[in-house]
Amino acid sequence: MYEKLPFPFTLLLKQYRYWRRKLLQLLAIKGRTAWIYSPYCQTHFAGEEHPESPQRTLAIEQALRKSGLWRLMQRIEASEVSDIQLSRVHTRNYLSYLESQVPETGKVKINEDTYLSKDTLCAARFAAGAAIKAVDMVMKPHAKNAFCAIRPPGHHASSDKASGFCFINNVAVAAMHAIAEYRLERVAIVDFDVHHGDGTEEIFQDDERVMFLSSFEYPLYPFSGLNFSGSNPNVINSPLKAGDGSEVFRDMVRQHWLPRLAAFRPQMIFLSAGFDAHKDDTLSHLNLTEADFEWLTKKIMLIANRHANGRIVSVLEGGYNIKSLAASAKAHIACLIKASPFM
């Protein structure tokens, strides 16, 4: 057993931490990268063989602990999203429908391979709450940036439909929170999941305050992203074909994303951080590596530093090979951590 610290030392330590926090606030220096989580997110269970498993976030945490990065982050437990916050993105009828489908035991098939268990809706509400908390942490001088280690994912959930393992569109809820509560006029969502973020696109298809950039393999589920019918001129879809790797992906980002993103001058950048475009992920056929996710993160951070005071909220989406997910997310988060003044 460890000996308890003497009372005077404990008091001095508390006072030191208090005054350090006050000084950093006074100097407008933001704190360490925030790891936003909720234990409720681990309760969603779609089945033993389902790729969207509780092991996903645990693997990322273990990789960060093993690398020594874990101690450089602040861990923040999320609260549940409110009905008002959800109503900015999803219809009341859809939310009522989800509640009506929650089973007492087992699971219910909602859409194709999207299953609702008795704990799913609770997990989804806390996942969205984590994205809300991340916005609050970054907008106030409490964190330089944040990573939301949450599940179920969200970018396939549209305003009125669950799809592709997703029930609540976490990144959309967070983006609308930033607009509604902090009066931001321009926010960007960069979605590098291997599947097109069709739900996010549908939600913001006519909202010019939101820039949406999505790279994805095509043809691949949800088989969308080629024909955009909305009025928002800030939607940029970038399809990739099976077999494409680092060179094609990086050229696309340089030519199509970075100039448009810089011209948009976002006041906050959200990342729909899917790592299933990795060459080892069996749900896709692209050939990206950890180095590509690291490279992209650094490029986005440069624009965030120039236009958004470094504000980045990264929200976990896909990534289903546990080993490549952990390695890729670690590389991504390491970049975020290096932006902190505590490094």
- Please indicate whether residue 156 is annotated as part of the active site: yes
Provide the pLDDT for residue 28: 45
Determine how β-strand 74-77 pairs with β-strand 107-111: unpaired
Alpha carbons 186 and 41: distance in angstroms, whole number: 29
277 to 78, 211, 292: CA distances (angstroms): 28, 22, 10
Provide the pLDDT for residue 2: 42
Provide the pLDDT for residue 19: 76
**Per-residue tens of pLDDT for the chain, all 343 residues:** 445 546 566 677 677 767 765 665 554 445 799 999 999 999 999 999 999 999 999 999 999 999 999 999 999 999 999 999 999 999 999 999 999 999 999 999 998 889 999 999 999 999 999 999 999 999 997 999 999 999 999 999 999 999 999 999 999 999 999 999 999 999 999 999 999 999 999 999 999 999 999 999 999 999 999 999 999 999 999 999 999 999 999 999 999 999 999 999 999 999 999 999 999 999 999 999 999 999 999 999 999 999 999 999 999 999 999 999 999 999 999 999 998 655 5
Sign (positive/negative) of CA torsion 188, 314, 238, 259?
positive
Provide the pLDDT for residue 337: 97
191 and 214 in contact (C-beta within 8 Å)?
yes
- Is 16 exposed, middle or buried, given 0-12, 13-18 or 19+ CB atoms closer than 10 A? exposed
Question: What are the backbone angles phi and psi of residue 13, rounded to the nearest 5°?
Answer: -65, -40
Of the residues 155, 156, 278, 307, which is catalytic?
156
Could you identify the residue written with the tokens 């019918």?
A: 229
Which pTM value belongs to this model? 0.91
| 3-state SS assignment for residue 160 | coil
Number of other residues whose CB lies within 10 A of the CB of residue 340: 20
